[in-house]
């Protein structure tokens, strides 16, 4: 037994069964070398000669088990040993498990005789390996061999290949023929041939409908080619052939399958024949044209499509009139949404044809479509025409009406119209809508109308099935649009449910929509982001749901923004807060019961694009192919790209304008080409803006061809523009791609962005300085930093990083980052990577400065110096402003404007003369940064200069008071205060006893209205201060003095009057400091009454005791003083002349108690002191100092009394 799988791809091996050979994912296919996926399968044949082989298709990470079962292999005559051999090629990272099994039944079970797991070859060009399996256990039996394999399920690189399968043994065999072939196949015939496997000369063969099974007998022939006729058109057949070896026969070879094509030409006998019928299910790229001709060559033909289905919008039904060019079905190429039933046409001549112009995808045979069923008859009359329109009757229940509009009677005089519901026919004889409307009919009832020519029954037309399943949705038009919820991010947490069941046409024009929007429903939403993602999901009951987006404030006059057939779309930039509309509809015109969910998402940052790396046209640069780590969001329109495997986002930056073409080529590491595809959007002004405008109108070029080299054409490229390119790696294998320019301005793309080194410090990009040399930054002045991290960034990875500080290489550092801690010039040189060269970064000139702090200083106040200004010592604020900062490290300058302070110019000096309200701006700066314009200065502090009014202190009159005798008096120092301040307001006045106290505001007189002087004269200092600014003051002074008061005394004289005196005594005042002509005198009696007429120093009218007062007043000063004198009244005005001390109670003692005697002395006649006593009253009764009784006689006494008075006289003792 030998199986070579022939030489042609796609031809299934004869007699083999199993899971099939269609090449679908997870199944076997028949293919040639190098027809496999990249990274797996063979690029060579098993023996180096051209041919096909058996290969597993693992394009979608397949793990399904594919089975290929051989035809019967007859080992019954075998006498010695049997071996199964084949060649295997197992190259790919995802090779799974191969099991080779043997069974005596074509349906198993199979006993595994060999297993292989994983890859065997290491590349696609490595030689196949031969495998041998002992089959001795199966001698004498008919066997079947199964090749069972499933990919690892981890990727697409799991294509295992099998070829040159042989079973060899020893014995005498009758071997079945090989290479069964059917050729010259027509609708009713075919030629069958085969190749003998031995010397036999006869064979049995059978041609039978496919699926009949292995025959038991056949037609015997003696040739290897036979012609079979009387076959049925459009029928699948199977062929079996058996060798006849004398009395023995081989097993049946086969089945070999073939299909007869359809019959395409028909002739109608309009006299004796009847109508022709045809049923046909079309194929992909169908070329069959079915032609019907009347035998007489003159009679027109009617063609009626009783049933049939085509792919809406893609597979057109063409009905050609007798001229062979006029398409009678041009208005309805897809019937009613793909449903062809009810189409009826009449030719103008004797011929009519039809064909389905299908594409290469969906077809009738592969998609279980309804076959086209046509009836063609000879036309003896002209068909009528009519339209049939559903009218909902929802207001009266779940029912509908039908408006039948006769647009032409044909050549009939009258027509009969009848539905299929058993209602009586309606006869009409004129065109127009038939009234009343037909119906009502219940929902979901198929209504078919037949319109017949009542004069000739050959002219009949039928309608398509008409039905209504439900009332139209509530959002059937834009003015009743459902308010849709919007997700604030790219999630579909909230969706909006909808249905197209019985949706009707809103009447809005299609605009840019390429499909029929005759069943549209509407939603409205409020934009919450600049761009929204519109997604149709969870579609049930159909497919091909399209949508469009509109804007506007009038629901009857909306403007279409775009329309798409995709499930996803990205809106252009919207206005947040505005209302927009989404129109959802099915692609076809066939009624549908589709339900769906509308998800409106808010576009986030498109990092897949904003992080895209640049590429440029440089033949020396090879970019790494992306494998598995980027995404292509589903909401973008990828135009021609049928898929986006391993998407890689890049940008192309153009310096020069013009028309460009580029070549994009991809290879694996071995240099073998890898399929590469692309789409380009642009032009944009920049990457960040362009990434939000990846919309259909901005697609510049696209290709999805199965080649490793693509051509990109960009016309009208503006200068300094950016394009976004998405490159897809169809094979999903690692490799590199190259981007080269083939025409256009030389070096028009910017390669600097690809190979340059970007330097940043703490994330801030270092830029070329405006005044610095080329390749250097301006000074980067860092305030308050002790260090920053420098990062050298390249678009693509590099091999080495060399750092330099002030031009000195920093050994031992091979890192993209460097921590800078000192002032200096920093640079990084990178090497290797895709640019394969050494590239230097910009030189960053960095200065580290201390951060300055300007503490708040108080406002300064000064007194008006006379011209409305004052002088200020600004430097006195420096210590406060610096605070704890040292003046050795920081400089404080003062400025008239904030701009001067910020620029560090026009500093002002101290002292500074300013008017009131002047603002002084402060700049505090690191002393090392002065003049550098580093920006490290602090200028957030200012203070005000306040010029206060300086008051006047006017001359104040002196004050004089009379001395009250104590040397002082009480002065009211405020007496002349109005004179001191004049008309000034907002001033305060204080009084001091010294100039220094006044100047320092210390020891102010507490009670200036009752001040007791300390000297006379005494100078009082008056301080007049600005009440709002005490430092503004003026001082004046005045004197206070005491006038002398008259001093008067009365000497030692004791003035006494006798009781009831009639002769006045004279009291004489003695002046101490005046003369009588300098004064005026007033006397007051003991009752303080003025004694009239007494104006001299002598008061000579005193008769009674009491205190008398003299008031003396200086005539020039008015100062007066008083003095008093006491006048005593004696108890008795008689001093006893003798005593008689005999204790009789009369005159016993010497009684002087009326005279206030201070001392009494008694002398005898000899002058001897015999008695004395101080403070005497009446103690002497004639005794001596010794207490002895003195003798009778005359004694002499001396009496000192009343202070300084003295009296002496005689006293007699009489016993």
Return the bridge partners of 67, or none: 148
Classify domain 2-171 by CATH number.
2.60.120.200
**pLDDT value at 37 more than 70:** no
Residue identified by tokens 């007189």 is 1005
* 1193 beta partners: 1213
Q: Could you say which architecture CATH assigns to the domain 959-1043?
A: Sandwich (2.60)
CA distance 703 to 725: 12
- For the stretch 586-615, pLDDT in tens is 987 777 889 999 999 999 989 899 989 899
CA-CA distance, 336 to 858, in Å (whole number)? 90
What fold, for 607-750?
Jelly Rolls (2.60.120)
Over 90: is that where the pLDDT of 80 sits?
Answer: no
**CA–CA separation, 842 vs 775, rounded Å?**
5
pLDDT of residue 665: 94
Q: Give me the residues paired with residue 66 across strands.
A: 149
Q: In which band, very low, low, confident or very high, does the pLDDT at 1140 lie, cut at 50, 70 and 90?
A: very high
Q: Using CA atoms, how far apart are residues 548 and 540, in angstroms rounded to an integer?
A: 20
CATH of 1048-1129, one of 3.10.310.30, 3.40.50.300, 2.60.40.10, 3.30.470.20: 2.60.40.10
Identify any residues that bridge with 524 across adjacent strands, giving them in sequence order.
Answer: 483, 581
In 3D, which of 84, 88, 91 has the Cα closest to residue 136? 84
Parallel/antiparallel/unpaired status of strands 844-849 and 780-783: parallel
The helix or strand, by DSSP H or E, that contains position 1171, with its residue range, turns out to be strand 1169-1174
Beta-carbon contacts of residue 99 (< 8 Å; ≥ 6 apart): 112, 114, 115, 146, 148, 149
Whether a cis peptide bond, with omega within 30° of 0, leads into 1017 is yes
Closest CA to 945 of 878, 857, 1030: 857
Q: Which of 258, 287, 243, 239 is nearest to 183 (CA)?
A: 258
- Angstrom distance (rounded) from CA 1204 to CA 1131: 19
Q: Whole-angstrom Cα distance, residue 1202 to residue 1127?
A: 11
438 pLDDT higher than 90: yes
Distance from C-alpha of 209 to C-alpha of 235, rounded to nearest angstrom: 7
Q: Is the pLDDT of residue 581 over 80?
A: yes
Q: Residue 950 CB: number of other CB atoms within 10 A? A: 19
Given a contact cutoff of 8 angstroms between Cβ atoms, the answer to whether 350 and 378 are in contact is no
Within this chain, domains 607-750 and 1138-1213 share the same CATH topology = no
* pLDDT tens per residue, range 130-189: 888 889 899 989 999 999 998 878 878 889 999 999 998 876 778 888 888 999 999 999
- Residue identified by tokens 């700049």 is 923
Instruction: Give the 3-state secondary structure of residue 391.
Output: strand
Rounded CA separation 238/207 (Å): 6
Query: Does a cis peptide bond (omega within 30 degrees of 0) precede residue 109?
Result: yes
Q: Are strands 289-294 and 265-268 parallel, antiparallel or unpaired?
A: parallel
* Least confidently predicted of 164-178, 442-456, 791-805: 164-178
Query: Among 8-17, 354-363, 471-480, which stretch is predicted with the lowest mean pLDDT?
Result: 8-17
Average pLDDT value for the chain: 91
pLDDT tens per residue, range 669-720: 888 899 999 999 999 999 999 999 999 899 999 999 989 999 999 999 999 9
Looking at the domain that runs over 1138-1213, which CATH code has it been given? 2.60.40
Say how far apart CA 1190 and CA 1178 lie, in whole Å: 16
Distance of CA 607 to the CA centre of its chain: 12
- Token pair 């010029």 is found at 947
Model confidence at 1014, in pLDDT bands (50, 70, 90)?
Answer: confident
> In the predicted model, what is the mean pLDDT of residues 370-386?
89
Q: Is the pLDDT of residue 628 over 80?
A: no
The per-residue pLDDT for 783 is 85
Cα separations in angstroms, 873 against 850, 866, 914, 1131: 27, 18, 11, 88
Strand partners for 1125: 1108
Residue 943 host element (H or E)? strand 938-948
pLDDT at residue 1075 in the model: 94
pLDDT reading at 456 higher than 90 = no
Q: Give the residue among 243, 238, 181 at the shortest CA–CA distance from 208.
A: 238
Q: Which two tokens stand for residue 954?
A: 């006017």
How remote is the C-alpha of 965 from its chain's centroid? 96
Q: What tens digit of pLDDT does each residue of 900-926 get?
A: 999 899 999 999 999 999 999 999 998
In three-state secondary structure terms, 764 is strand
User: How far apart are the C-alpha atoms of 372 and 1164, rounded to whole Å?
Assistant: 194
CB 914 within 8 A of CB 894: no
Domain 488-602 sits in CATH 2.60.120.380: yes
> Is this prediction's pTM over 0.75?
no
Question: Is domain 265-378 classified as CATH 2.60.120.290?
Answer: yes
Q: With b meaning 16 or more CB within 10 Å and e meaning fewer, what string describes 138-176?
A: bbebebbbbbbbbbbeebbbbbbbbbbbebebeeebbbb
Spell out the residues 6+ positions from residue 325 whose beta carbon is closer than 8 angstroms to its own: none
Residue-by-residue DSSP string for 844-905: EEEEEEPPP--PPPPPEEEE--SSSEEEE-GGGGHHHHHTTS-TTTEEEEEESSHHHHHHT-
Domain assignments of the chain as residue spans, ordered by start: 2-171, 174-260, 265-378, 385-462, 488-602, 607-750, 757-849, 860-948, 959-1043, 1048-1129, 1138-1213
Q: What is the pLDDT of residues 1160-1179, one digit of tens each?
A: 999 998 999 999 999 998 89
Farthest CA pair distance, the chain: 226
What value does the mean pLDDT take over residues 562-577? 93
CB atoms within 10 A of CB 850: 18
CA dihedral 319, 322, 323, 329 (to 10 degrees): -20
Spell 280-293 as b/e; 16+ CB within 10 A means b. Answer: bbbbeebeeebebb
Residue 875 to residues 606, 869, 871, 894: CA-CA distances in angstroms?
58, 18, 12, 9
pLDDT score, position 799: 87
State how far the Cα of 764 lies from the Cα of 768, in Å rounded to an integer: 13
Over residues 303-312, the pLDDT tens digits come to: 999 889 999 8
Predicted confidence band of residue 880 (pLDDT cuts 50, 70, 90):
very high
DSSP-derived pairing of the beta strands 52-56 and 160-171: antiparallel
Q: Which CATH architecture has domain 174-260?
A: Sandwich (2.60)
Q: Which residue has the higher pLDDT, 522 or 35?
A: 522
Torsions phi, psi for 1055 (to 5 deg): -100, 125
CA dist 276 to 269, 302, 346, 457, 712, Å?
10, 11, 15, 17, 54
The total of other beta-carbon atoms located within 10 Å of residue 296's CB is 12
| Ramachandran assignment for 1211, one of left (phi > 0), alpha (psi -120 to 50 degrees), beta (any other) | beta
DSSP letter, residue 996: H
**Confidence grade of residue 1186 (pLDDT, cut at 50, 70, 90):** very high
User: How far apart (Å, rounded) are the C-alpha atoms in residues 1005 and 632?
Assistant: 94
* Distance separating alpha carbons of residues 400 and 403, to the nearest angstrom: 10
- For residue 1125, the Cα-to-chain-centroid distance in whole angstroms is 111
Average pLDDT over residues 988-996: 95
Asked if 1195 contacts 1211 with a C-beta cutoff of 8 angstroms, the reply is yes
> What would be the CATH architecture of the domain defined by 757-849?
Sandwich (2.60)
Residue 531's CB is within 10 A of a number of other CB atoms, namely 19
Measured CA to CA in angstroms, residue 1099 lies from 114, 385, 644, 1095 at distances of 171, 167, 144, 8
The SS3 assignment for 721 reads strand
The span from the CA of 681 to the CA of 489, in Å, is: 24
Q: Which residues contact 1116 (CB under 8 A, 6 or more apart)?
A: 1078
Cis peptide before 911 (omega within 30 of 0): yes
In whole angstroms, give the CA distance from residue 1213 to residue 1215.
Answer: 6
- Whether 113 and 84 have beta carbons less than 8 Å apart is answered as yes
Can you give 459-499 as a three-state secondary structure string? CEEECCCECCCCCCCCCCCHHHCEECCCCCCCCCCCCEEEE
CA gap 218, 238 in Å, rounded: 13
Helix (H) or strand (E) holding 962: strand 959-962
């Amino acid at each position: 037994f030998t199986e070579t799988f022939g030489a042609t791809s796609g031809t299934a091996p004869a007699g083999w069964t199993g899971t099939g050979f269609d090449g679908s994912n997870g199944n076997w296919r028949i293919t040639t070398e190098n027809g496999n996926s990249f990274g797996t399968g063979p690029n060579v044949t098993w023996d180096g000669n051209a041919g096909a082989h058996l290969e597993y298709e693992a394009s979608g990470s397949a793990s399904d088990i594919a089975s290929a079962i051989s035809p019967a292999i007859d080992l019954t005559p075998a006498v010695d040993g049997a071996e199964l051999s084949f060649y295997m090629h197992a190259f790919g990272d995802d090779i799974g498990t191969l099991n080779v099994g043997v069974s005596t039944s074509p349906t198993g079970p199979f006993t595994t005789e060999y297993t292989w797991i994983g890859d065997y070859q290491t590349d696609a060009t490595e030689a196949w390996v031969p495998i041998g399996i002992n089959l001795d256990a199966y001698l004498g039996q008919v066997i079947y061999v199964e090749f069972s394999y499933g990919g690892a399920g981890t990727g697409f690189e799991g294509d295992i290949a099998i070829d040159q399968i042989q079973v060899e043994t020893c014995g005498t065999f009758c071997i079945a023929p090989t290479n069964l072939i059917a050729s010259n196949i027509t609708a009713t015939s075919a030629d069958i041939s085969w190749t003998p496997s031995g010397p036999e000369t006869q064979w049995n063969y059978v041609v039978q409908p496919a699926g009949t099974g292995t025959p038991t007998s056949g037609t015997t022939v003696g040739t290897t080619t036979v012609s079979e006729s009387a076959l049925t058109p459009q029928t699948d057949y199977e062929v079996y052939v058996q060798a006849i070896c004398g009395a023995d026969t081989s097993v049946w070879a086969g089945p070999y399958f073939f299909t007869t094509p359809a019959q395409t030409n028909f002739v109608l006998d309009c006299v004796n024949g009847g109508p022709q019928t045809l049923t046909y299910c079309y194929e992909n790229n169908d070329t069959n044209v079915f032609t019907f001709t009347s035998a007489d060559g003159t009679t027109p033909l009617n063609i009626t499509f009783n049933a049939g289905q085509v792919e809406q919008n893609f597979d057109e039904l063409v009905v050609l009139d007798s001229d062979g060019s006029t398409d009678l079905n041009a208005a309805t190429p897809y019937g009613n949404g793909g449903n062809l039933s009810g189409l009826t046409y009449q030719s103008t001549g004797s011929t009519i044809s039809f064909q389905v112009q299908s594409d290469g995808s969906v077809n009738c045979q592969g998609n279980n479509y309804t076959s086209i069923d046509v009836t063609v008859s000879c036309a003896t009359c002209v068909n009528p025409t009519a339209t049939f329109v559903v009218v909902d009757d929802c207001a009266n229940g779940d029912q509908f009406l039908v408006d039948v509009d006769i647009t032409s009677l044909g050549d009939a005089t009258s027509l009969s119209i009848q539905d299929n519901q058993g209602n009586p026919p309606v006869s009409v004889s004129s065109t127009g809508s038939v009234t009343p409307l037909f119906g009502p009919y219940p929902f979901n009832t198929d209504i078919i109308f037949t319109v017949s020519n009542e004069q000739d029954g050959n002219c009949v037309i039928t309608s398509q099935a008409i039905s209504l399943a439900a009332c139209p949705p509530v959002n059937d038009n834009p003015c009743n649009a459902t308010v849709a919820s919007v997700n604030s991010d790219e999630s579909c947490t909230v969706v909006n449910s909808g249905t197209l069941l019985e949706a009707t046409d809103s009447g809005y024009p299609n605009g840019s929509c390429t499909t029929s929007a005759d069943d549209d429903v509407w939603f409205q939403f409020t934009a919450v982001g600049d761009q929204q993602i519109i997604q149709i999901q969870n579609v049930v009951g159909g497919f091909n749901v399209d949508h469009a987006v509109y804007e506007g404030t009038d629901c009857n006059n909306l403007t279409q923004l775009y329309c798409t057939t995709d499930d996803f779309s990205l809106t252009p930039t919207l206005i947040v807060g505005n209302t927009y509309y989404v129109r959802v509809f099915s692609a076809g015109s066939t009624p549908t019961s589709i339900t769906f969910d509308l998800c409106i998402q808010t576009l986030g940052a498109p990092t897949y694009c904003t992080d895209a790396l640049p590429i440029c046209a440089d033949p020396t640069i090879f970019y790494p192919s992306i494998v598995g780590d980027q995404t292509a969001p589903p909401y973008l329109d990828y135009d021609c790209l049928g898929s986006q495997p391993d998407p890689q986002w890049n940008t192309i930056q153009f310096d020069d304008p013009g028309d460009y073409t580029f070549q994009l080529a991809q290879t694996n590491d071995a240099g073998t080409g890898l399929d590469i595809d692309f789409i380009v959007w642009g032009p944009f002004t920049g990457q960040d803006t362009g990434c939000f405008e990846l919309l259909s109108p901005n697609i510049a070029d696209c290709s999805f061809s199965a080649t490793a080299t693509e051509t990109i054409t960009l016309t009208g490229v503006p200068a300094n523009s950016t394009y976004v390119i998405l490159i897809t790696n169809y094979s999903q294998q690692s490799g590199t791609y190259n981007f080269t320019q083939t025409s256009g301005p030389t070096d028009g793309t910017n390669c600097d962005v690809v190979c340059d080194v970007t330097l940043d410090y703490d994330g801030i990009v270092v830029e070329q300085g405006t005044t610095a040399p080329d390749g250097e930054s301006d000074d980067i002045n860092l305030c308050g930093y002790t260090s920053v991290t420098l990062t050298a960034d390249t678009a693509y990875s590099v091999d080495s990083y060399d750092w330099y500080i002030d031009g000195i290489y920093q050994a031992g550092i091979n890192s993209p980052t460097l921590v800078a801690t000192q002032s200096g010039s920093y640079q990084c040189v990178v090497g290797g990577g895709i640019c394969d060269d050494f590239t230097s970064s910009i030189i960053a000139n960095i200065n580290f400065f201390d951060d300055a702090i300007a503490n708040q200083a108080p406002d300064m106040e000064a007194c008006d110096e006379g011209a409305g200004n004052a002088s200020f010592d600004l430097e006195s604020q420096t210590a406060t402003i610096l605070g704890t900062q040292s003046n050795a490290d920081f400089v404080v300058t003062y400025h008239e404007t904030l701009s001067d302070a910020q620029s560090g110019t026009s500093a002002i000096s101290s002292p500074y003369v300013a008017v009131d309200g002047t603002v002084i701006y402060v700049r505090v700066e690191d002393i090392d940064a002065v003049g550098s314009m580093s920006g490290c200065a602090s200028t957030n502090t200012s203070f005000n200069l306040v010029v206060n009014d300086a008051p006047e202190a006017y001359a104040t009159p002196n004050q004089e008071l009379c001395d009250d005798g104590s040397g002082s008096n009480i002065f009211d120092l405020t007496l002349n205060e109005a004179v001191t301040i004049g008309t000034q307001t907002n001033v305060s006045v204080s009084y001091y006893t010294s100039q220094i106290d006044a100047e320092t505001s210390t020891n102010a007189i507490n009670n200036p209205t009752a001040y007791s002087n300390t000297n006379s004269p005494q100078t009082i200092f008056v301080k007049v201060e600005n009440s709002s600014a005490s430092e503004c003051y003026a001082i004046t002074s005045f004197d206070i003095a005491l006038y002398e008061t008259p001093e008067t005394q009365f000497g030692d004289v004791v003035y006494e009057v006798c009781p009831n005196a009639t002769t006045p005594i004279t009291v004489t005042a003695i002046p101490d400091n005046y003369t009588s002509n300098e004064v005026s005198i007033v006397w007051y009696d003991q009752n303080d009454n003025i004694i009239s007429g007494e104006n001299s120093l002598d008061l000579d009218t005193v008769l009674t005791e009491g205190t008398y007062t003299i008031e003396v007043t200086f005539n020039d000063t008015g100062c007066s003083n008083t003095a008093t004198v006491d006048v005593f009244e004696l108890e008795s005005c008689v001093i006893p002349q003798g005593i008689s001390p005999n204790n009789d109670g009369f005159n016993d003692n010497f009684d002087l108690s009326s005279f206030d005697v201070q001392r009494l002395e008694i002398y005898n006649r000899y002058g001897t002191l015999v008695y004395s006593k101080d403070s005497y009253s009446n103690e002497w009764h004639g005794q001596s100092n010794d207490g002895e009784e003195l003798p009778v006689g005359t004694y002499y006494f001396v009496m000192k009394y009343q202070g300084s008075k003295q009296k002496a006289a005689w006293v007699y003792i009489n016993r």
